[in-house]
Amino acid sequence: MTPDISLATIIADTDLPCCIYNASGPRCSTEEELHAIGESVAGAILSKSATLQKREGNEKPRYADTPWGSINSMGLPNEGYEYYAAFAAQASQYDKPYFMSVSGMSLDENVKIISDLENYEGIAGIELNLSCPNVPGKPQTGYDFEQSRHTLEAVFAVTTKPLGVKLPPYFDIPHFQMMADVLNDFPIAFVTCINSVGNGLVVDPATEGVLIKPKQGFGGIGGDFVKPTALANVRQFYTLLNKNVSIIGCGGIKSGQDAFEHILCGASAVQIGTRFMQEGTPCFERIVSELTEIMQKKNYRNIEAFKGKLKDYQS
């Protein structure tokens, strides 16, 4: 890293040495994978979304790369929340915070997991996932504003830890305001925008079939095509939420330029999903050096110098 340029940031009152880290999902399910993130230049470690019990997830193949990103219907395979909570003790060896993603199969499960996490130290914050699109028969909480409010009331009653939410993408202007009105009534630490664009369909003309086995091929879309939607969600929530809420950008980031655009829209940190799946931990170093180069050219010493400062159209 260039010595006079810092990519440091603060999320949930915790210092991150670098504003770039992994999205929950790819390569963050096992201790080995979490250690690999710890050893990389990523600025934080984020776990796979945890449920109360260990889950095998959906049938394979359940992830596929496409020319413009990825499609997945993993179905929440994970080791169960106690495994990820126990990793907090090991994460303390790294000079970066450890965040846990929680995605209970019901409100009761979320409450049970989040209240039990009170017994663990070393978890810098909880990213409550309101947007898993891949469990058959389970609608995404984030698309039901009343249910989202109900969920936040229940979980904030049982936690003292910083808590943020991972949101699905919204596509209609009134929906941004409706979700912001819910979130602004709670002491939310951060909001991560966006989860995958749910239930897309990728078709292979050669086989005349779909790319993944679960759900007749329907799955969450990530990568290049979701970046404009991700930027729109980052920008909207940066504008609409209480000013002490950090926005974490996620969606279509594969280069320093993509990270720069997310930060311009208001992101205090960015997460890498599809590209981390494809490239592994070297993507963090590459994106850090590309972002640093852009900042050097523009004479920005830190991300505060341009965070949120997106300009309106100028003729």
Residue at 245: amino acid letter: V
Catalytic residue among 29, 47, 101, 131: 131
- Nearest-CA neighbor of 200 among 226, 178, 175, 180? 226
Q: Least distance (Å) from ligand DHB to the CB of residue 198?
A: 7
Non-local (6+) Cβ contacts of 154 within 8 A are: 107, 110, 111
* 283 annotated active-site: no
C-alpha distance across the termini of the chain, in Å: 36
Site string for ligand DHB, 25-64 (x = CB under 6 A): x-----------------------x-------x-------
Site string for ligand DHB, 57-96 (x = CB under 6 A): x---------------xxxx--------------------
Catalytic residue among 18, 28, 132, 250: 132
Q: Least distance (Å) from ligand DHB to the CB of residue 275?
A: 15
* 289 annotated active-site: no
For the record, the structure tokens of 113 come out as: 């997991």
Judged by beta carbon, residue 130 or residue 291, the one nearer ligand DHB is 130
Judged by beta carbon, residue 94 or residue 237, the one nearer ligand DHB is 237
Judged by beta carbon, residue 132 or residue 163, the one nearer ligand DHB is 132
Q: Binder to ligand DHB among 195, 233, 236, 274 (CB under 6 A)?
A: 195
The number of CA neighbours under 13 Å toward the Cβ of 240 is: 20
Residue 99 and residue 126 in contact, taking contact as beta carbons nearer than 8 Å:
yes
Residue 308 and residue 266 in contact, taking contact as beta carbons nearer than 8 Å:
yes
For the record, the structure tokens of 29 come out as: 């399910």
SS3 for 252? coil
Judged by beta carbon, residue 212 or residue 263, the one nearer ligand DHB is 212
Residue at 86: amino acid letter: A
Task: Tell which positions 128-157 bind ligand DHB, by CB under 6 A.
Answer: 129, 131-134
Place of tokens 């209609």: 172
Which residues would be at the binding site for ligand DHB (CB under 6 A)? Answer: 25, 49, 57, 73-76, 103, 129, 131-134, 195-196, 220
Which residues are known to be catalytic?
A: 131-132
